[in-house]
Structure 1
Amino acid sequence: MLGPDCRSRVDPPSCRVLTVDPAFSIREALAVDATGRIIACGGNQEVLALKETSTQLIDLAGKTLMPGLMDSHVHPGAALTEYDHEIPVMETIQDVLNYIAARAKATPEVRGSTSGRSSSPG
């Protein structure tokens, strides 16, 4: 539950926080605000110093925490081509966004589709 200061802190006293910074540092604790933004990462004592009466502590019981990890992946055999063309080489996030936008424009609407491009019935 969030307190009146609208902050929720996470303190994993017995875990490993993989920061994936340039040194690939491993820390003990992490503090997160109510919006999900990381506000501190470091040792237990350092992060616990930020604790307030409304702080929510979460013990990860020895688990590994990887902030920001998004497991977006495809299986190569299924992703080498789409049904009507090869998928181009994409090297940046903008390349991916441009490709998706172009495919969305080129794909006809289908009634009852769950792709977000369906037309409403009626």
Structure 2
Amino acid sequence: MSATDTQPDLILHNGRITTLDRANPVATAVAIKDGRFVAVGGNADVMPLAGRATKVVDLDGRTVLPGLIDNHTHVIRGGLNYNMELRWDGVPSLAVAMDMLRRQVAITPAPQWVRVVGGFTEHQFAEKRLPTIEELNAAAPDTPVFILHLYDRALLNAAALRVVGYTKDTPEPPGGTILRDAAGNPTGLLLANPNATILYATLAKGPKLPFEYQYNSTRHFMRELNRLGVTGVIDAGGG
């Protein structure tokens, strides 16, 4: 066995590394080989293990945590359309958000929808409001748009209403409210009252991506989870 066969692939040193080992709760350095920890301890213990091929990272005092395991996610559902979704989290104004929407519409092929999801709220926008249905119709006259707001409501443009088939003759669904104008026509606002069933049911009416696109999208979703430090998940019921 050559020396390089026993050398760590990666050494992190000069950090605050949480080990979850009660006997050694915080280390300053770790060595990793083939995806496994081969040494955990102080800089003086671990650094001599470095070889020519070892990548050495100076943490400069930063904290390292073990990978997080989220025991309530919807990774199956969340991954299927991840690549096609638009997110307004952190967007400072409705004007910027609507510009993002228009650009997303321009690259969304028929019959796919533009889905706006995530944890955004109107209170983050400088305008302190959500877009109107008229603004959505102007931005996307032909492409269905579904905007999910914190699981309490959804906004649909006219194209989306046509696709899902909501009309003045549509009965009030269980688990939600279709807001209507004076003539009884749906306005495009769905309220999750008393629960979010109507939001899930409406979103499920959208077209599915081909399997290979769903697979690729799910991989990107998992990559995003990894980027945020999540290395394991439990799907809450597969839905």
How many residue pairs get matched?
Answer: 87
Work out the CA distance in 2 between the residues paired with 1:71 and 1:49: 36
What secondary structure, in the 3-state scheme, does the structure 2 residue paired with 1:47 have? helix
Question: Structure 1, residues 61-90: CA drift from partner, whole Å, max 9, x if none?
Answer: 110011333466669x86xx8748xxxxxx
Residue 174 of structure 2: aligned partner: none
Using the size of structure 1 for normalisation, the TM-score is: 0.51
Q: Which has the larger radius of gyration?
A: 2
Matches within 5 A, 1:1-122: 5=5, 7-13=8-14, 15-23=15-23, 25-33=25-33, 35-70=34-69, 83=197, 111-112=208-209, 116=215
* RMSD, matched Cα: 3.8
Alignment CA distance shift 1:63-1:53 (3 Å): same
Distance 1:24 1:60 in 2: 19
Secondary structure of the corresponding residue to residue 57 of structure 1? strand
Higher relative contact order (CA 8 A, sep 6+): 1
Letter in 2 for 1:52: G
1:46 shift after superposition: 0.9
Gaps of 5+ in 2: 74-118, 120-149, 152-194, 199-203, 216-239
The aligned amino acid for 2:12 is D
Q: How far is the alpha carbon of 1:47 from its aligned partner?
A: 0.8
In structure 1, the residue matched to 2:95 is: none
| Cα pair distance change 1:21/1:55, threshold 3 Å | same
Taking only the aligned residue pairs, the percentage that are identical comes to 30
In the TM superposition, residue 58 of structure 1 has moved relative to its aligned partner by: 0.3
Greater share of residues in helix: 2
**TM-score for both structures, normalised by structure 2:** 0.29
Cα distance, 1:39 vs structure 2: 1.2
Which range is displaced more, 47-56 or 65-74? Answer: 65-74
- Contact 2:11 2:47 (8 Å CA) reproduced: no
Other-structure match for 2:125: none
CA drift at 1:57: 0.8
Please tell me the residue identity of whatever aligns with 2:48: A
Amino acid of the residue matched to residue 208 of structure 2? R
1:35-64 Cα offsets, whole Å, 9 max, x none, are 321111101111113222222110011100
| Residue identity matched to 1:112 | L
Q: Greater strand percent: which structure?
A: 2
